[in-house]
Structure 1
Amino acid sequence: MPRLLLAFKAALLALFLAVSAPSHAADDVIKTVYHMSEGIPQASRAINNIRNHLAADPKAKIVVVAHGLGIDFLLDGATNQMEQPFAGAIGELAAKGVEFRVCNNTLVSRKIDASKVAMEAKIVPSGVAEVARLQAREGFVYLRP
């Protein structure tokens, strides 16, 4: 009887470990949220980071969430510090599956019409709530360039 109980406990432990251990299969997609809130210099860094990220991991799922000054690069006519438009880079990254999300609270508080937001971007009610939701409910890794 003790031997049977010991075998049962060992099987139960093995089952628990198999169920609770994270999967690290080679085909797992790593999901990353890039948090943008600092304006144009941060956006320039982020664009480069995201390009490098996708070059190293083409299967990566990337969502860029912007609020505060972080939305500026996603507005019509936005340019980087060298007066180069962001529109091309946004379109290029969106074509590779990168999603862009803009905080509606920021649009309202800054009195920016939603029509000024790049067509590739989706408006979400709250940028910070979106970052938290992606991390807590969808398992995204957090990066702040």
Structure 2
Amino acid sequence: MAYWLFKTEPDTFSIDTLRTQQVSCWEGVRNYQARNFLRDEVKEGDKVFIYHSSCKEVGVAGIATVIKESYPDHFSWDLNSDYFDVKSTPENPRWFMVDVQFERKLKRVITLAELKSLAGLEQLPLVKKGSRLSVMPVSEQEWQLILKQE
């Protein structure tokens, strides 16, 4: 089992949305490095921190579990989707997604400021200057350290 952090804007999709839906595809990833993580490394059973970005309280808000491994992001073929990509086709998909299941909402949001101040998270891509990945790996030690802040 591996650990991940998936970023989302809560005005679009939040941990509360996932709690209501219980299961959701994680679509719309349009960065190649993040896509490669989804396509090649994120596996069924992996744990995911759901991280709220571009909002008032930026930080880790909850936990999900990957329940379906990588498959083509069909929204990239939908002309009416915000995620449409003319270069992606069913025959040659460019983008991929996974399905996640709600596990739990954290007791409180663990803020980015807190994460940046924690000894032991210096290598976490999230806290490095200029890192904007929407899907990133989290080591088991980092995972446990973050959970202790709850």
Same fold (TM over 0.5): no
- Relative to its length, the structure with more helix (as a share) is 1
Indicate the structure (1 or 2) with the bigger Cα radius of gyration: 1
- Relative to its length, the structure with more strand (as a share) is 2
Q: Which has the higher contact order (CA 8 A, sep 6+)?
A: 2
Normalising by the residue count of structure 1, what TM-score does the alignment of the two structures yield? 0.29
